[in-house]
Structure 1
Amino acid sequence: MIIDLDQLKTLVEAGDKTALETHIYKALEKGDVSKALATNAAVKSDLDSEKDKYHNTAMETWKSNNLQGLIDDAVKAANPTETPEQKRIRELEEKIANGEKSAQRAQLKSKALEFATENGLPPKFASKYIERFLGDDETTTTATLSELKADLESVIQEGVDSKFKDNGRTPPPGGIGSHIPGSIKTIEQMAAEHNIRNKQ
């Protein structure tokens, strides 16, 4: 650092802080910044922050200019380029496979709705939620719906038993409808009987 002491004295006496700082900055020489970094933590922190900004900007610029190209190259290396004919065949195979899946799904849904109807699941519930209970095939779908039916019947039976007890009566053994010969216990029938009991 080369400082003109006379000029520095004049600036100090004048009290012109801005001019004084400018004079000092102009007096800096090569190597002075390194010395400042070694002796002044605030200067080092400021310079590190600037370096981080520079590197982040440089990294983002590099990404925008090069990253997509590298990704594309890696994809091409993993999947050798298709000829137009190969691409057309692959797309046709995918369409056929998707069409078959859709057809199988529709058939499975139809079978599930049929099962739900035959087993007394409420039609509104079945039509609205049946797709959530579809499995990979008819067997798993039927098993899931059977479990659902059993769970619903259990919940309804518990509600009916609770109502009987609240009214000081004993529920019929074997569940709702079991005391009536030839009766078919469906969820709708159990719900209807439950409503009748409430009105008594």
Structure 2
Amino acid sequence: MKKSELTKLIESLGDDTEVDETISKSDLGKALASSGLTLDAFKSKMESDPNFKSFLDSEKDKHATKSLETWKTNNLQKMVDEEYKKQHPEADPKDTEIAKLKKQFENMQKESLKKDLTNKALKTMTEKKLPTDLVNFIVGQDEDSTNKNLETLEKIFNQHDEAIKTEILKNDTYKPGGQGGAEPTEEAVKGQINSLFGIKE
């Protein structure tokens, strides 16, 4: 019996299959019987000789691997293609074009809205003497959110201005009318601001 024939015989059997009858009916069984090597002796060798068992297992693994590769070659790509088609059904070219145009239109609307909101915000910020450099942080998704951001910015700057005025009055560095009722000079005001912020000239 050839090695390939023995391998094929072993591979065709399940792990829990009784091999007695199968082997005894095969050419191997007949060869064993004629050679004086009984089936029981063969089975005993499988169970007692690790090298013999390892050889049979490796042959079985080789055949299983080859069978799997053959199955992959014949079936796997087809299954992948079918699954891809399920997940990505082919759309009508008209529908695809309409979706593309719709997306472009939505983007144009967003850009137009952002431009309008930016212009309105700049106008309001200029009127209220707020720093226009912050306009990109003020413009929101819509007019309501932009207006809320403007209100928050104005509130913050008003609180900041009030804090500065309070600090100036607390330090008593500014007296309306100056000494003898004279208006404070630009230099005096500048000196007060520098003193408040710790700026050294």
For the aligned pair, the TM-score class normalised by the smaller chain equals: 0.3 to 0.5
Larger Rg: 2
Work out which structure has the larger RCO, using CA pairs closer than 8 Å and 6 or more positions apart in sequence: 1
